[in-house]
Structure 1
C-alpha cells in the first residue's frame, strides 16, 4: 500500500519558503509539527509505504535530503518520490533541460505518472495533499484533502485519513 505524501499544508502550514537553500516556515509553529499525527495514523498499518509527492524533492534537488527532514519512523517508510533527478535531463542524458514541465503538472498528474510507471492497482494507493486541482471526481476517494493552514491538525482530516487507511487495508487484505 502506497501513501503519496505532500509536506506543505499537510505536515505543517503551507507557508514554507526557501531561505539560503533551507526551508523555513513563515507561520506559527515549526516544520513537520503535525508529523506525529501521521505517524500515529500509520502505526496500525506497517505495510503502508510512502512516496514523496512534495515539491521539496525537486526544489532541494535531492530525494535523500528531502526524506531526511521527516522523523525517523516516517523516513523508514519512504520508498521513492514522484520526482526524480533524471526528469531534469535531456532524453540523451547529457544536457540539462528546463525542469519546469514537471512543476506545471497538477499534483494529481504527477501522482498519476508515478502510478502508471509503478503499475499500481487502484486499491493500493492513497494521497494526502492540500492541492486537489485537476483531481478526477471518480478518484476523489484516493485523496485526503487537507486545508493548507491546518493540515493534519484538522480533526476532519485525521478522521478521513483513518477511514481511508482502514478501507485501503481492508480492500488489500480481501484482494479486491
Structure 2
C-alpha cells in the first residue's frame, strides 16, 4: 500500500461533543470519497486505547472498515504527539504517501502539508473531502 490515511474519530467523523447526536454522523462523507480508492487506513484516534482493532472496524461502515490496516501505537508525550505517532508507524511500516484527517492541529508541526484539518465543532465537511479528493488524485 503506497497511500495511507491516518484517521481520527472525535472532531472528524462526528463533532467532538456529539451529545444528542449519533456518533459517526459524518462518516457518510468519508465513505463516498473513498469508494474504489487504493489506500490503507490507520486509525490514529485515541479510541485505539479503549477499543480493539476488531471493535474499531465494527464501528465503521464495511466499505471503510475493509480499508483499515491498523492503528498507530503507543501515545507520545511531548511536542506534536499525533505527528510523532504517525512517524513511528511509518518508520515500522515503510515509505508511504500519507495524509491525516484530524481536528487536533496542535498535535502536528506548522506547517504540516499532510494534515487535513477538521473543525472539532462540525467534523469533516465538503471542504475537507475536497482536499482529500485532491490528495487521492495525486
Q: Name the residue aligned to 2:90.
A: 115
State the TM-score, normalizing by the size of structure 2. Answer: 0.87
Structure with the larger helix share:
1
Deviation at 1:120, TM superposition (A): 2.0
**RCO comparison, higher one (Cα < 8 Å, 6+):** 2
Q: Name the residue aligned to 2:70.
A: 80
Q: Contact (CA 8 Å) 2:57, 2:65: kept in 1 or not?
A: yes
Report the number of matched residues: 134
Larger radius of gyration: 1
Distance of aligned partners of 1:103 and 1:116 in 2 relative to their CA distance in 1, 3 Å threshold:
closer
Q: Name the residue aligned to 1:21.
A: none
Q: Which runs of 5+ in 2 are unaligned?
A: none
What are the within-5 Å matches in structure 2 for residues 1-176 of structure 1? 1-15=3-17, 25-26=18-19, 28-45=20-37, 47-60=38-51, 62-83=52-73, 102=75, 104=77, 106-121=81-96, 124-137=97-110, 140-152=112-124, 154-167=125-138
Describe the SS at the equivalent of 2:42: strand
State the TM-score, normalizing by the size of structure 1. Answer: 0.69
RMSD of the alignment, in Å?
Answer: 1.7
Q: Which runs of 5+ in 1 are unaligned?
A: 16-24, 88-101, 168-176
Deviation at 1:42, TM superposition (A): 1.0
